[in-house]
Structure 1
Amino acid sequence: MAHHDTLLFDLDGTLSDPAVGICRSINHALARFGHAEIDPAGISAWIGPPLEQSFRQITGVQDDAHVRALISAYRERYGDIGYAENTLYPGIPEALQALREAGLPLGLCTSKRADFAQRILALFGLQDHFGFVSGGDIGREKWQQIAELKAQGRVGPQALMVGDRAVDITAAHRNGLAAAGVLWGHGSREELQAQRPRHVFTDPDELVRVLLAD
């Protein structure tokens, strides 16, 4: 039996690919305020970090009120149709089922707002696998979410964060937790390995095999 007291999963780029919905919703917001739209080919750069960071970097705007307005416009479209413009990665349902059947508690920790994350889990029929959903919001970073989960006793010192971007690894390490990277999402091997994760997985089958023996 694996020794991890909880497996914390990221959502975007780890369980499902949100590229289409995120790109279209970002461009919807940018167009609303007269900013140049982004090229869909470069969307991976904006999947993972908090929205306010992405909009500041995309537009160069630092005014807090304008950034909040961009996020509000993004969420209008994302909450309507963008969340459903999403593709589940092959092997994810089977992997989550295997981990649960082995007795491992699963939680979701995403920079996405919690209500959007819950709708995506329900869209794919994954909601019953997770004991809790921790979502982000403006001004709330993933390391802060994990710190809150620790303070609440929802995760213990043997928890493992699983995600596809460097932010997932660094958020776990900042809280004294181990982390694992996945290569089927939007982060490169180089990005992940630079943060020294415990594991880097190439597919969901490997994830299950290694974590059940970890």
Structure 2
Amino acid sequence: MHPMLADIRLICFDLDGTLVDSVPDLSAAVDAVLADFELPPAGEAKVRDWVGNGSRKLVERALADAMGTPPSLERLELGHARFLQHYGCDPTARTRLYPGVREALDALREEGRILAVVTNKPFALIQPILSAFGLDDHFALCLGGDSLPQKKPDPAPLWHVAERFGQPVSACLMVGDSRHDVEAGRAAGFRTLAVPYGYNHGEPVRDSRPDGMVESLAELV
């Protein structure tokens, strides 16, 4: 057992950039929205730095970059609606699990730990992704960015999960790839663990000073 798991009974995982590399599909949907507005494509490199604050913010960043100015509220809402349509058609066509994820989740479930997903992705898009990889039965609860009034880096989603399962925050761990995950975990009183391979707006997640880091989730088991 990894030292970070000592006395941990509940583990919350971020989704994009932690469990799955979803940028290829997200980028395709973003570029489809931009094409709808007759704007140039953004490409994967830019989208990789924009992911992490929910789909609406992703679309806002893409439109602002392509237009050179922040989009109007009307254009943003239309763009976001079209993004959800494009992305929802097949959110796992190009998405892949990161190495070590399946092994880690299988082992942690076998150990009897409570596993949850806490992501800023819209809730409706979580299950199709987990189901595509056969992971939907690994998690006792999934929260999306629209499940509660608050989303990460606010600690409220993590508190909600801990309360739901009657666990003290001292027995809970937040695992993610970005400063928002680390900030949310720290504010909630959770232990925090980061992976370096995900999306963190082009910044090393180590700079956020998580309690621990692993190169692969396989190191947990």
**TM band (smaller chain):** 0.7 to 0.9
Instruction: Indicate the SS of the match to 2:208.
Output: coil
Residue 154 of structure 1, CA deviation: 5.9
Unaligned runs of 5+ in 1: 209-214
Task: Give the alignment's TM-score, normalised by structure 1.
Answer: 0.86
Q: Contact 2:10–2:162 at 8 Å: present in 1 too?
A: no
Deviates more, 1:186-195 or 1:32-41: 186-195
Q: Corresponding residue for 1:212? A: none
In structure 2, do the counterparts of structure 1 residues 176 and 153 end up closer, same or farther at CA, with 3 Å as the change threshold? Answer: same
Instruction: Indicate the SS of the match to 2:103.
Output: helix
Aligned counterpart for 2:25 among listed residues 7, 21, 28: 21
Q: Corresponding residue for 1:63? A: 72
Q: Deviations over 1:14-60 (max 9, x none)?
A: 11110110001011112222333212223210222222223333333
- Distance (Å, rounded) in 2 between the aligned partners of 1:97 and 1:30: 39
Q: Corresponding residue for 2:7? A: 3
Corresponding position: 1:156 with 2:177: no
Q: Contact 1:183–1:189 at 8 Å: present in 2 too?
A: no
Residue 123 of structure 1, CA deviation: 0.3
In structure 2, do the counterparts of structure 1 residues 159 and 40 end up closer, same or farther at CA, with 3 Å as the change threshold? Answer: same
Corresponding position: 1:35 with 2:35: no
Structure 1 runs of 4+ aligned residues shifted over 6 Å read none
Q: Contact 2:31–2:43 at 8 Å: present in 1 too?
A: no
- Distance (Å, rounded) in 1 between the aligned partners of 2:47 and 2:207: 21
Deviates more, 1:46-55 or 1:140-149: 140-149
Q: Corresponding residue for 2:131? A: 122
In structure 2, do the counterparts of structure 1 residues 179 and 29 end up closer, same or farther at CA, with 3 Å as the change threshold? Answer: same
- Distance (Å, rounded) in 1 between the aligned partners of 2:104 and 2:142: 18
Q: Deviations over 1:184-207 (max 9, x none)?
A: 323489531222111111112213
Q: Deviations over 1:88-117 (max 9, x none)?
A: 112211110111112211000111112211
Q: Contact 1:21–1:84 at 8 Å: present in 2 too?
A: yes
Aligned counterpart for 1:86 among listed residues 87, 90, 95: 95
- Distance (Å, rounded) in 2 between the aligned partners of 1:154 and 1:115: 26
Q: Deviations over 1:106-165 (max 9, x none)?
A: 000111112211111110001111001101139742224224334545653121110111
Count of aligned pairs between the two proteins:
208
Task: Give the alignment's TM-score, normalised by structure 2.
Answer: 0.83
Q: Sequence identity, in percent?
A: 30
Corresponding position: 1:167 with 2:180: yes
Give the aligned residue type for 2:96: T
Q: Corresponding residue for 2:67? A: none
Instruction: Indicate the SS of the match to 2:81.
Output: helix
Unaligned runs of 5+ in 2: 65-69
Corresponding position: 1:177 with 2:186: no
Q: Contact 1:79–1:116 at 8 Å: present in 2 too?
A: yes
Q: Contact 1:6–1:156 at 8 Å: present in 2 too?
A: no
Q: Contact 2:191–2:211 at 8 Å: present in 1 too?
A: yes
Give the aligned residue type for 1:68: E
In structure 2, do the counterparts of structure 1 residues 103 and 188 end up closer, same or farther at CA, with 3 Å as the change threshold? Answer: farther
